[in-house]
Amino acid sequence: MAGELAMTAKRWDELTALLQDEQLLQAEYPKVAEYLSRCGAPSWSTSDRRPPANPVER
């Protein structure tokens, strides 16, 4: 399907590292850090949240 979003493993790892470093997240993306703090977002790692290699077909 055209227009589907996909992330490379490298970008997924970069995002995961950013979300695991609260100080960096606060410095780089303060509004995102504030939102995640308010909603009580749990900590997570690449091992339990990595998406499948291929997008899920509907």
pLDDT in tens, 3-53: 788 889 999 999 999 988 989 999 999 999 888 888 877 654 444 455 555
pLDDT of residue 40: 78
Q: Is the pLDDT of residue 58 over 50?
A: no
What is the spatial distance between Cα 23 and Cα 17, in angstroms, rounded to a whole number?
11
Write the DSSP assignment of the chain as a string of letters.
-TT-----HHHHHHHHHHHH-HHHHHHH-HHHHHHHHHHTPPP--HHHHPPPSSPPP-
Question: What is the per-residue pLDDT for 44?
Answer: 44
- Distance in angstroms (rounded) separating the CA atoms of residues 14 and 12: 5
